[in-house]
Structure formats: C-alpha cells, structure tokens
Amino acid sequence: MTFLAILSYLFYVRKVEKREPDELARPKAWQEAGIGCAIGFGLMTAITFILWILGYYQVEGVNSMAVLFLPFFGALFTGFFEEFLFRGIIFRIINNSLGSWLALLLSALIFGFAHAANPNATLYSSGAIALEAGILLSAGYLFTRRLWMVIGLHFAWNFTLGGILGIVVSGVKAEGLLQSTLEGPALLTGRDFGAETSIIAVVICLLAGIFFLWQARQRGNFIRPYWRREKIF
C-alpha cells in the first residue's frame, strides 16, 4: 500500500502537474526522514512522560514484539499517504498561489477537520489536530521544502503512540507493545480520541511548529501571495 501511494503521487506530479517531484529528491532523504522520526518519537515520548508523571498514563504489561507489525506498516502508509495529500498537494498548491501564511492556515484546518470522521471525534479534537499536527507538519515541510522529514515525523508520531505506547491514535485503538491505560480529565488526556488532543500535546507540538516556522522564515522559505509575487521574503 505504501509503494502504491508513492507511485500514485509520482504519477500525479508527472502527468497532471507535468514536473519532476523535487520534494521527493533522494539526496539526504534517509537523513531527513531519520530526523523526522526522531522528532516524532521525541515529542510523543515527552508528552506521554508528562502524562505518566501526572499519574494519568499507566503501563500494565508488555506484549510480544509481533504486535508491532500492523502498527508499523499502518503508520508507514499513513505517513506517506497523508503527507503526499496534505503537504505535497494541498499545502504546496495553496502556498504557490495564495502564499505561505494562508497555506498554513487553510491546510491546517483541512487536515484537522479531515479527522472529524474518526471514531470519538469532536469539534475540539479536530481543532486540536489542526493546531498541533496541521501547523507542525506544514511548518516542517516549509522548513525543508521536501517531504521526507514530515513523512518521518508523521510515521513516528503514529507508531510511537499506537505501536509502542499502546495509546489510542486519532480515535483508533490498536494493540501496542505496551499494555497501557490513559485515564483522567479529557482536557489533559484526550480521553477516547487519544493523547494527541491533550492540551499538553497541543501546546508542545504547537511550540515545535512555531520553531520550524521561525526557522523557515530565517531561511527565506516563505512565499508571498501571487498578488505580491515580486520576491521571496
């Protein structure tokens, strides 16, 4: 499925947009994907550690390593497919026409509310996903102007939460390596939608997104809207 997602994106870019997919150029691909994985793992681990310190996250046992198979490949497919769609197509097209700030706002909202159909989704959960993941992933793409880092980040985000820590991911419960429970106030734990909608996660991931936006601005990667297209600032 992941390979099919890659082929579909390459076909779209080459046949519909009639260009080469520079955002998937291979030089430094593994390095950027690895950095993204480290960021995703670090963020999710830090959030869960805080929830553990507060007494909301508890580990009750450990499953066989075999349970990692499905979450790994599920997270891998989601990382590729959703980054191709939301950053590679939606964000990039809006960015190239309406400019980076509107692209950031609109793509984050689209990404957040695309999760509204997930199990246990609410208006708050969609807004939280837009604020934390929508902004962070778009900022990461804007920072590198390539997809590899955000694919790695998205993959590690989902795999760390669901595959390793055994926490519900965007309303979907999968068996993880750790047998765990996450109970407490909805604002702090995210309850049935998962720790992603914890206010702790929203704040931490939003701060990370702001950092990458600042770095992207420092690199001159922001694009003006088409009516002010004289230069990149």
Region of residue 178 (left: phi > 0; alpha: psi -120 to 50; beta: else): beta
Closest residue by Cα to residue 201 from 145, 143, 151, 157: 157
Mind giving me the DSSP string for 123-146?
HHHHHHHIIIIIHHHHHHHHHHSS
Q: How many whole angstroms separate alpha carbon 184 and alpha carbon 191?
A: 7
Per-residue pLDDT of the chain (233 residues; tens, 9 = 90+): 788 888 889 888 898 888 888 889 888 999 999 999 999 999 999 999 999 999 999 999 999 999 999 999 999 999 999 999 999 999 999 999 999 999 999 999 999 999 999 999 999 999 999 999 999 999 999 999 999 999 999 999 999 999 999 999 999 988 899 999 999 999 999 989 999 999 999 999 999 999 999 999 999 999 998 887 665 44
**How many alpha carbons fall within 13 Å on the CB side of residue 82?**
25
Tokens for 162?
Answer: 């669901």
Query: Hey, how many other C-beta atoms are within 10 angstroms of the C-beta on 61?
Result: 8
**How many alpha carbons fall within 13 Å on the CB side of residue 110?**
17
Query: Hey, how many other C-beta atoms are within 10 angstroms of the C-beta on 186?
Result: 15
